[in-house]
Amino acid sequence: MTGAASNVHFPHRHLLGIEGLSPDEITVLLDRSESYVEQNRQSDKKKSLLRGRTIINLFIEASTRTRTSFELAGKRLGGDVINISIATSAIKKGETLIDTAMTLNAMHPDVLVVRHPHSGAVKLLSEKVNCAVINGGDGSHEHPTQALLDALTIRHRTGRLSGLVVAICGDITHSRVARSNIHLLTTMGARVRLIAPRTLVPSDAERLGVTVFHDMKAGLADCDIVMMLRLQTERMHRNYFPSIREYFRFFGLTYDKLSVAKPDALVMHPGPMNRGVEIDSEVADDIGRSAIREQVEMGVAVRMACLELLTRNLPEPPPEVH
Ligand code: ASP
């Protein structure tokens, strides 16, 4: 099913986070994404669903996967896509985020995809514009499309989310990927474990319905999915661990640590990956165990579904007067 499915509805104007979405709303997004996985494997990948629509990617923080896949997603649906990065935006000349947003808003975009280093900045912006806004990652708060693509990858490989034991390992404190995944996975009935040094996990994390471990082998025992996270050094303002070498020794994913998980446990990483820091190269490149490339593929499908479902909710422009 790759045509417009008119009975599919996502009842929100923006996609700012996973927190607060219901299991049905998440399922609608995942099911619609699924239909695009097949389409993206065909030689003719182009549809005209977003013909006439304008999507602006406003990225005030570095990105490879998220920005490129939103661009591809918009183009594959027939929309016009424009990319603005920190290097090319007037924010560098001192303009505020809101002024930049108001300027872009005046050009009548249909969707703004925004990445910003500050938690909450994307929500603030969404309150000032007329178009749909998608959070492409705000500080250490949320990265909803990453959690959706992770869920789609897991569903593809295992056929389900409910009942799985998922270990999220590494720098939890600074990770928006961890936060969005915790919300999504617990909402969908998975059991989430966090594995991290004491300094890199919030002390009240268990109120999110997860179990916290500080030892890799204890946390990985019998789990179905192992999600590794990068150390988000750009958000660290003090020392959280003695050295990279020591971090890798205790928290880097190696075959030895992975051996206590289920024999077919899937290894995931949102990228960018720091080999030899949070993950050993051998494990990362093991095509039997690692779903890291598949996550990137699912990312395009998820972003197509998000663009489609949010633009469907936009009001029709008033008819032209001749
Ligand atoms: N790409 C992900 C993010 O933007 C993860 C990372 O940067 O480590 O949050």
Write down the pLDDT at residue 8. 84
Write down the pLDDT at residue 2. 47
Distances (CA, A) of 241 to 68, 93, 231, 237, 305: 33, 36, 10, 12, 39
Provide the pLDDT confidence category of residue 321 given band limits of 50, 70 and 90.
Answer: low
Provide the pLDDT confidence category of residue 56 given band limits of 50, 70 and 90.
Answer: very high
H-helix segments, the chain? 23-40, 65-76, 97-105, 121-126, 144-158, 176-187, 216-220, 244-251, 255-258, 281-284, 292-312
Per-residue pLDDT for 1 more than 50? no
Cβ(279) – ligand 1 distance below 6 Å = no
Provide the pLDDT confidence category of residue 94 given band limits of 50, 70 and 90.
Answer: confident
Supply the residue whose CA is at minimum distance from atom 4 of ligand 1.
137
Cβ(176) – ligand 1 distance below 6 Å = yes
Give the number of the atom of ligand 1 that is nearest the alpha carbon of residue 65. Answer: 1
Write out pLDDT tens, residues 177-199.
999 999 999 999 999 999 999 99
Give the number of the atom of ligand 1 that is nearest the alpha carbon of residue 175. Answer: 9
Write out pLDDT tens, residues 266-309.
999 999 999 999 999 999 999 999 999 999 999 999 999 999 99
Running DSSP on this structure, what letter comes out for residue 75? H
Write down the pLDDT at residue 322. 61
3-state class (DSSP) for residue 137: strand
Whether cis (ω within 30° of 0) applies to the bond prior to 144 is no
Supply the residue whose CA is at minimum distance from atom 1 of ligand 1.
271
pTM for the model stands at: 0.95
Query: Mean of the per-residue pLDDT values for the chain?
Result: 94
Cα(37)–Cα(97) distance, integer angstroms:
34
Cβ(79) – ligand 1 distance below 6 Å = no
Best of 175, 278, 292 for a ligand 1 pocket test (most atoms within 8 Å of beta carbon): 175
Give the number of the atom of ligand 1 that is nearest the alpha carbon of residue 230. Answer: 8
Per-residue pLDDT for 119 more than 70? yes
